[in-house]
A and B are shown apart, each in its own frame.
Chain A
C-alpha cells in the first residue's frame, strides 16, 4: 500500500502525471457515478429527440430521445471494463508464456516467438474482421480478439526480461537449491517482470479503449441497443446535420479517457521504469 501511495506521489510531482491522473479520475467518476444519477440509457422518448444539452438532459438526447449523459456514461463504463479486463487477461497470459519461453529457450522459445510474429503480422483490424467472421459479433468475440492481439506485446517483454533474469546469480542459486521451477517462476521471475509489464499494461489501456470504439464505430463491436463510445459517435455522425452534440459528447469523453490513460501510463513508466522512459 505504501508503495502505491509513493508511486502516486511521484506521479503527482510532474505536470503530465497530474493531468493524466485528473483526467483518469474524472472518467472513472463519470463511468461509475453517471449511470446512477442518469435515467435509463435505453428509455426512448421520441418527443424529446435531438434535445440540446440542458437541465433535463445534461448532454442532450439522440435521435430516439435517449439521454446521452446516461448512454455516454454507460458506454464509458463498458469501454473501461473491457479495457481493464483485456489488459489484465492478456498481460497475465502473455507474461506467463513469455517467461516460459525465456526460461526454456531452444525450440519452445522459437515456437512461441514464431506464433507472436504470426499474430503481429496481421494488422489488428484485419485480424478483427477475420475473427468476427469466424465467431460472430459480440463482447466475448471482442475480448478474445483484442486479448489475442495484445498477448504478444506482453509476451515479448516478459520473454526478454526472463532471458536476462535466467542468467542472474539469484536465479541460478534457486536452481542450485533444486527449488521447484513453478516456485522459481512465481516467487522470483514474476515479481521482477511485473514492473515493466504494469507500465506496458497502463500504456495499452488507451489503445484498447480506442480499438473498442473503432470496432463499435464500424459496427463490429457493441450491438444495439447497448451503447458504446464508438456507436454513439457513429449514431451521432449519421444525424450530425440535426444535432452535433451526440458526436461531440462521445468523442470528448473518448479523447479525455485515452489522453488521461496515455499521460498516466507515460508518467507511470517514468516512475517505475525510468531507464526505458526515453525509449519510444
Chain B
C-alpha cells in the first residue's frame, strides 16, 4: 500500500541553522505515527514542510504517493486529504469571525450544499461533545479545550485521510488531555485516518502511536515500533529523553 506520507532526504536551513538535516521517513496509511523530540528539534518545521507551508531546500515529500507541489491547484487538491491541527488551536481560528463563518468556508471550498454541510457539522460537533450553539460564538468566547475541538471539527469537515496534530494536548488539563487522545484514536479508527502526532511529550506518543521517530537537531536519530523503541532504545539521546519523562517507563506509561 502507498505510504500516507513519505519524506526522503528533507533538508532545510534557516541561515546557519539546519532545521531539517536529511530527514527520511515513511508513514503507513491508517496508522498513528508519533514524531517526538525536544523543542527546536525540527518537529514543527517538518510538519509545516509536509503541509506545504514551508519549502524544502532539498529532498522530496510525497503525500499518498503524489509529490508535494507548491501551487494553488495542488494546495486545493491537498486540502481535501491532509489537514493540520495547530499547536495553539485558539490562534488557528480567525479572531474576528464567528465559528459558523469559519465552518461555512469549508462548505464553500468543497462546494457542498449548505444544508448537507451543516448536517455533517452537527454530527461532528455531537461526536466531539460540542454544543450546537458553539458555532455562533467567536473564538475568544470558548475555552481552550473547546477551541481545540472546534479546530478538529473544522479539519474533519474537510473529510481528510491524514490528520497532523502538533502538540495536541498542549495547554490542556490532564483529564481533558485523556479525553482528547481517546477522541483522536476513535476518529482515526472509525474514519480510517492516518494520524500524525507531533509532541515533546513521550507519554502521549507512547499511549497513542504505533510507530514513532525521535528527532534531534533536524535529524531523525531513531525510529520504529513504539513498544520496542521505548523499551529498548538504541540511541543514547532516546534514553536521555525517556529518562527526562519519569512517567514513561520502558515498559509503558505510568502515572
Within 8 A of A (CB), among B116-156: 151, 154
Report whether B154 and A177 are in contact in the complex, using a CB–CB cutoff of 8 Å.
yes
Within 8 A of A (CB), among B73-123: 75-76, 78-80, 83-84, 86-88, 91-97, 101, 105-106, 108-109
7 contacts between A and B (CB under 8 A): A168-B91, A171-B94, A173-B86, A175-B75, A178-B72, A180-B108, A188-B97
Enumerate chain A residues within 8 angstroms of B84, measured Cβ to Cβ: 173, 176
Q: A172-B53, A183-B105 are in contact. Are A178 and B76 (CB under 8 A)?
A: yes
Enumerate chain B residues within 8 angstroms of A170, measured Cβ to Cβ: 91-95
Q: For the complex, is B49 an interface residue (Cβ under 8 Å from A)?
A: no
- In the complex, the chain A residue whose C-beta lies closest to that of B105 is A179
Q: For the complex, is B25 an interface residue (Cβ under 8 Å from A)?
A: no
Q: For the complex, is B220 an interface residue (Cβ under 8 Å from A)?
A: no
Residues 156-196 of A, flagged 1 when their CB comes within 8 A of B and 0 if not, give 00000000000011111111111111010001100110000
Q: A170-B93, A176-B83 are in contact. Are A187 and B101 (CB under 8 A)?
A: yes
CA distance A200 to B97 in the complex (A): 24
Q: For the complex, is B51 an interface residue (Cβ under 8 Å from A)?
A: yes
The interface size bin for chain A is 10 to 19
Instruction: Kindly name the residue among B80, B93, B101, B105 whose own CB sees the greatest number of chain A CB atoms within 10 A.
Output: B105
Tally the A-B contacts, defined by beta carbons under 8 Å. 64
Q: For the complex, is B158 an interface residue (Cβ under 8 Å from A)?
A: yes
Residues 32-46 of B, flagged 1 when their CB comes within 8 A of A and 0 if not, give 000000000000000
Report whether A176 and B51 are in contact in the complex, using a CB–CB cutoff of 8 Å.
yes
Known: A176-B53, A179-B108. 17 other contacts (CB 8 A): A170-B91, A170-B94, A170-B95, A173-B84, A173-B92, A174-B94, A175-B75, A176-B51, A176-B83, A177-B79, A177-B109, A177-B154, A178-B76, A178-B78, A183-B105, A187-B101, A192-B96
Report whether B88 and A169 are in contact in the complex, using a CB–CB cutoff of 8 Å.
yes
CA distance A169 to B97 in the complex (A): 14
Nearest 5 A/B pairs, CB to CB: A178-B79, A169-B92, A178-B76, A191-B96, A173-B92
- In the complex, the chain B residue whose C-beta lies closest to that of A173 is B92
Smallest Cβ distance from B61 to chain A, in angstroms?
A: 15
CA distance A169 to B86 in the complex (A): 7
Enumerate chain B residues within 8 angstroms of A168, measured Cβ to Cβ: 91
Report whether B109 and A178 are in contact in the complex, using a CB–CB cutoff of 8 Å.
yes
